[in-house]
Amino acid sequence: MASSFFRDLLDQIVERGRALKAFSLGGGGHDGTIEALSQGLLSGRGESSGMVVARHILAIFDLLSDDEKTEYFHFLNDVLVPDDEALKAAAAAYLETPSRQQMMQLAKAVESPRQELFRRLNLAPGGTAQIVRMRAELLKRLKAHPELKPVDDDMAHLFGSWFNRGFLVMRRIDWSTPATILEKIIEYEAVHEIKGWDDLKRRLNPKDRRCYGFFHPSLVDEPLIFVEVALTRGISGAIHDVISEEDEAEALDPDTAVFYSISNCQKGLAGISFGNFLIKQVVSDLSKEIDSLNTFVTLSPIPGFMRWLEGLREAGEIDARELSLLDHSTWPSKKDAEKRLSDVLLPLAARYFLQEKRGDGKPLDPVARFHLGNGARLERLNWLADLSDRGLEQSAGMMVNYLYDLDYIERNHEAYAEQGVIAAASSVSRLVPAKAAGAVKERESA
């Protein structure tokens, strides 16, 4: 029961955040465009009224039209940049005398004033959340305006510092969590839709469910990422076993924790990675809390599989016999074809995971890259595991379990990162021709 004194700290942050919502642009005397205010905030030699100006800028930004926002981002991109002449001079000086001293001068000359602007905007109560939303706005525009990338780079760099894992807190989310958070869990669930409060309550039932999220002290009422876990006996291979299960079973002494959904919540934090830390912290905490647990697996989609299969088909690499299999609309009804299908598709899936690589030597599948990069092992391919429309279209109805074994994570991670070795259970690696075996690491222990 740590110093409870610190608990109160966050009240203020929360209050400050809420206070901002009540803020009206009324009588401030700080008129002028958002651009003028931004330059004023930056140039203010002291910090005297920084908080007020920062509030103004953020409040105005919220009120801008879409076009005006784009315009403001261009201002950030084009105007709030290092001074070209000074930078050239510093670069030339460094080339002439490549001393530590000159390097420092160069580092200063190249730092974008935008970064300092964002830091000062954060003076505003509730500013952190608003700056994160500002980046979400920016990201929406990057496709149409790739020239804005430098602004995004600066924001991402800053968020890397601000949302350092050392500043995050993992919290269990359950039925005694404030509704304002729960509402967001419903909203943000990205993998398997939560169909309202009753469905949510089922997913939080402490008998055999857990949910954990990362929070940041300065983001009011907002989870950054959360993971949903089912406690089971044995490894669950089908999502409907996990999700539609009736709320009656009492999981006695579960031996397995299944991570069946992990969702990022903040679009403005895209690219700042939390999932790896969250999964490992949950594995570590659950091991301590529930003695009977000995297996930690995900139940994951294979989002790129059918697209890859389609590519094979177009390239003529799948023979005619198998072509018809790709028409998944006929699958579930053809019970008799199931066996034949799995004989064909499972080895293809194994090949997809173990042998097909991108240019950088990493697997094609993005979910696989995430978990293998974390040091997890490809544990099991599950046939007929997700018969939802999306599951059929993307993954031929298959799902996959990645195993998080804390004793092997480090080793797996290194072998993957350095040599591209994919850790896989023998039941999976066995499905591909022997020639691939070299790149496949068998499980080393029970």
Judged by beta carbon, residue 176 or residue 324, the one nearer a second copy is: 176
Annotated active-site residue 395? The verdict is no
Kind and range of the H or E run holding 332: none
Q: What sections of 384-435 are H helices per DSSP? A: 389-395, 406-419, 426-429
> Could you tell me whether strands 169-172 and 223-232 are parallel, antiparallel, or unpaired per DSSP bridges?
unpaired
Q: Which of residues 117-156 bind a second copy (CB under 8 A)?
A: 119, 122-124, 127-128, 147, 149-150, 153
Q: Which of residues 332-371 bind a second copy (CB under 8 A)?
A: none
Residue 409 makes contact with a second copy by CB under 8 A: yes
Using CA atoms, how far residue 132 sits from 18, 229, 272, in Å, is: 16, 28, 12
Residue 172 makes contact with a second copy by CB under 8 A: yes
Q: Which of residues 18-37 bind a second copy (CB under 8 A)?
A: 18
Q: At closest approach, how far in Å is the CB of 169 from a second copy? A: 4
Distance CA 300, CA 403 (A): 11
Q: At closest approach, how far in Å is the CB of 256 from a second copy? A: 21
Among 33, 86, 97, 180, binds a second copy (CB under 8 A): 180
Q: At closest approach, how far in Å is the CB of 104 from a second copy? A: 6
DSSP state of 445: -
Among 37, 156, 181, 251, binds a second copy (CB under 8 A): 181
Residue 91 makes contact with a second copy by CB under 8 A: yes
Name residue, tokens 């953020």: 58
Question: Among 56, 216, 328, 371, which one carries the catalytic annotation?
Answer: 371
Choices 31-39, 56-64, 326-334, 415-423 (CB under 8 A): range interacting with a second copy: 415-423
Q: Which region holds residue 194: left if phi is over 0, alpha if psi is between -120 and 50, else beta?
A: beta
DSSP state of 166: G
Q: At closest approach, how far in Å is the CB of 36 from a second copy? A: 15
Q: Which of residues 92-121 bind a second copy (CB under 8 A)?
A: 92, 94-95, 98, 100, 103-104, 106-107, 110-112, 119
Distance CA 427, CA 144 (A): 46
Whose CA is closest to 301, among 188, 388, 199, 431?
Answer: 388
What is the separation, in whole angstroms, between the first and last Cα of the chain?
A: 38
Whose CA is closest to 197, among 184, 206, 211?
Answer: 184
Q: At closest approach, how far in Å is the CB of 7 from a second copy? A: 4
Judged by beta carbon, residue 112 or residue 401, the one nearer a second copy is: 112
DSSP state of 362: -
Distance CA 286, CA 241 (A): 21
Counting residues that bind a second copy (by CB under 8 A) gives 95
Q: At closest approach, how far in Å is the CB of 18 from a second copy? A: 7
Residue 4 makes contact with a second copy by CB under 8 A: yes
Judged by beta carbon, residue 164 or residue 294, the one nearer a second copy is: 164
Judged by beta carbon, residue 272 or residue 345, the one nearer a second copy is: 272
Q: At closest approach, how far in Å is the CB of 246 from a second copy? A: 20
Whose CA is closest to 278, among 327, 207, 210, 332?
Answer: 210
Contact flags string 43-82 toward a second copy, x per CB under 8 A = -xxxxxx-x-------------------------x---xx
Q: Going by C-beta distance under 8 Å and a sequence separation of 6 or more, which residues neighbour residue 292?
A: 253, 254, 255
Distance CA 232, CA 399 (A): 17
Choices 167-175, 299-307, 323-331, 349-357 (CB under 8 A): range interacting with a second copy: 167-175
Largest CA distance in the chain: 77
Q: What are phi and psi of 130, to 5 degrees?
A: -70, -35
Among 9, 25, 190, 323, binds a second copy (CB under 8 A): 9
Residue 86 makes contact with a second copy by CB under 8 A: no
Q: At closest approach, how far in Å is the CB of 340 from a second copy? A: 39
Annotated active-site residue 371? The verdict is yes
Residue 170 makes contact with a second copy by CB under 8 A: yes
Q: What are phi and psi of 401, to 5 degrees?
A: -100, 130
Q: Which of residues 258-277 bind a second copy (CB under 8 A)?
A: 273, 276-277
Active site residues: 300, 371
